[in-house]
Amino acid sequence: MRRCLVAAAVGVAMAMAGGATAAEVEVKMLNKGAEGLMVFEPALVKIAPGDSVKFVSTDKGHNAETIKGMLPDGGTTFVGKTGEDVAVKFDQAGIYGVKCAPHYGMGMVAMVVVGTPANEEQARAVPQVGKAKQVFAVLFERLAANKTAAK
Ligand SMILES: [Cu+2]
């Protein structure tokens, strides 16, 4: 009898949470972060399909949007408004390149890795602007080393 009650309680809790265990990860858009000026922090996010990333407009003047060609087949593109938070749900597994349009050339980019990506080669081949090239090189290295933070 006791076990039944516990199971029922868990069922209710899950229903209240929307019936799923989807997570939401926050990425801050900053004028100055631990790794320099004009950054997404963290710049590398690993999530499961169905999870969301909320790009938070901590400092104003930034946005988050997908980089052309740097997402898996069937992946959804998005364009956040400058100076506003944008929450994006990622259903399709793969590597997604994200940029801040005003600071792309300054290397303000992030990488969202959803599930087990099959488009890494394709994502690496996307031409990048200015300092974004170096930043992505570092992020791909970090991904290969299976690290999500630089700490
Ligand atoms: Cu920016």
61 CA from centroid of ligand 1 (Å): 6
**What is the Cα–Cα distance from 136 to 15, expressed in whole angstroms?**
39
Q: Which residue has the tokens 């890494």?
A: 120
**What is the Cα–Cα distance from 65 to 123, expressed in whole angstroms?**
15
**What is the Cα–Cα distance from 42 to 113, expressed in whole angstroms?**
12
Give the model's pLDDT for residue 14: 46
Which tokens sit at 22? Answer: 């989807």
Which tokens sit at 146? Answer: 């299976």
**What is the Cα–Cα distance from 3 to 26, expressed in whole angstroms?**
36
Give the model's pLDDT for residue 7: 52
65 CA from centroid of ligand 1 (Å): 11
Give the model's pLDDT for residue 146: 78
92 CA from centroid of ligand 1 (Å): 26
Give the model's pLDDT for residue 21: 81
Tens-of-pLDDT digits for all 151 residues of the chain?
455 555 555 544 444 445 468 899 999 999 999 999 999 999 999 999 999 999 999 999 999 999 999 999 999 999 999 999 999 999 999 999 999 999 999 999 999 999 999 999 999 999 999 999 999 999 999 999 975 544 4
29 CA from centroid of ligand 1 (Å): 7
